[in-house]
Chain A
Amino acid sequence: MLAGDQQVVVELLHKAGWAYDTRNVNWLVDLFLPDGQFDLQIQSGDVLSFPGQNRIRDLYVDALASQNDQRRHIITNVFFDSVTPSSMTARSDVTLIAVMSGNLNIVSTGVYTDQLIKYEDRWRIKHRFEYLDRPF
């Protein structure tokens, strides 16, 4: 059974997938600390860095604007490293699905590595690294 903080973080990561798929950008941005960072690597391409909540918001807004299908970010395989009362690293897999015009496609798979901090009694992401096996 998961300890309380790990249960909270599992739910956050699950809900983040749902939040993207329901286009809830405010919730997604608020998942990060104000100085949080999102690094994205697709296959062996360069790592794209988005430091700070404003850049992270732009990333989500731009990505969502380019997609008119129904995305489903299916989050599985969550496990933890380096757990302390105020910080932890969580790894999880994403299976990214898109549905449009009656067709379902598995767009990509990937791995999130999230460094989280307990800040003002809330767990938030300090650093997210997303590696995708294919472009999204």
Chain B
Amino acid sequence: MSDKQTITELLNKGGWAYDTGDVDFLADMFTEDGKFDLQIQKNDVIKFEGRANIRGLYENSLKTQTDQRRHIVTNLFFEDEKSDSITATSYLLLTAVADNKLSVLSTGVYTDKLVKQGKSWRIKHRFLYLDLPY
């Protein structure tokens, strides 16, 4: 499998992992010193540094949500491709189902800087810009 195919599956599975509450997978997507920066509209960037803090972000978010989320990841393309690093940009379409009603909550853009550690690709830095709160 090519590196791009591997990363495509990683990012796709990241959406599935959130929607199934698989925090272990989500945290393991990041390097130990990975960073997750989140900006909602023009508000200040909220920063999460290190795998443990990123895990906390996911755990806390999931606790507040009783609906069924779907993180639909699309429009993936790559830049700055090297043998051990790459930048991946993708879109997020975030939906939620609750009480038999489906809502489109937000759209957004992921910009992920990934590095290859051994045979695994992990996110060194994720920036998520959301068009609306989630």
Interface residues of A (CB under 8 A from B): 1-2, 7, 11-12, 14-15, 17-18, 70, 72-76, 95, 97, 99, 102, 104, 106
Q: Known interface pairs A14-B75, A104-B104. Does A99 touch B131 (Cβ–Cβ under 8 Å)? A: yes
Within 8 A of A (CB), among B57-100: 72, 74-78, 89-91, 93
Alpha-carbon distance A82/B4, docked complex (angstroms): 24
Evaluate contact between B104 and A11: CB separation under 8 angstroms.
Answer: no
Q: Known interface pairs A17-B91, A104-B131. Does A97 touch B74 (Cβ–Cβ under 8 Å)? A: no
Identity of the chain B residue whose Cβ is nearest the Cβ of A14 in the assembled complex: B75
Tell whether B117 is near chain A: CB-to-CB under 8 Å.
no
Identity of the chain A residue whose Cβ is nearest the Cβ of B109 in the assembled complex: A18
Evaluate contact between A106 and B104: CB separation under 8 angstroms.
Answer: yes
Identity of the chain A residue whose Cβ is nearest the Cβ of B78 in the assembled complex: A11
Alpha-carbon distance A7/B105, docked complex (angstroms): 30
Evaluate contact between A18 and B93: CB separation under 8 angstroms.
Answer: no
Q: Output the least CB separation between B90 and chain A (Å).
A: 8
Evaluate contact between A74 and B132: CB separation under 8 angstroms.
Answer: no
Determine the chain B residues whose CB is within 8 A of the CB of A75 once the complex forms: 74-75
Evaluate contact between B131 and A14: CB separation under 8 angstroms.
Answer: no
Alpha-carbon distance A135/B43, docked complex (angstroms): 32
Evaluate contact between A14 and B93: CB separation under 8 angstroms.
Answer: no
Alpha-carbon distance A2/B1, docked complex (angstroms): 10
For B1, B72, B107, the residue with the greatest tally of chain A CB atoms inside 10 Å of its CB is: B107
Evaluate contact between B76 and A11: CB separation under 8 angstroms.
Answer: yes
